Amino acid sequence: DTETRDGVTLPSYRGDSVNGFDFTEAARVPDPDRLRRMYHHSASTLNLVRAFTTGGYADLRQVHAWN
């Protein structure tokens, strides 16, 4: 799919994990490294959530102990 503005046609924005939002040729080129970085950040977030839930940090009754 493509997007056209003022006579300029570029690939469509596919999401931050694929290409950039800016309407420039450089931003709209699909970048496989973006997907790798997105996967890394997603996995890190999931690991952090797992650590919180198993470490007692998911219990809001213990919020005073977090510091």
Cβ(11)–Cβ(2) below 8 Å = yes
pLDDT, residue 2, reads 97
Q: Please report which confidence band the pLDDT of residue 62 belongs to, taking 50, 70 and 90 as the band edges.
A: confident
pLDDT in tens, 10-48: 999 999 999 999 999 999 999 999 999 999 999 999 999
Answer yes or no: is pLDDT of 56 > 80.
no
Tokens of 67: 């510091």
pTM for the full predicted model: 0.66
DSSP state of 67: -
pLDDT, residue 54, reads 85
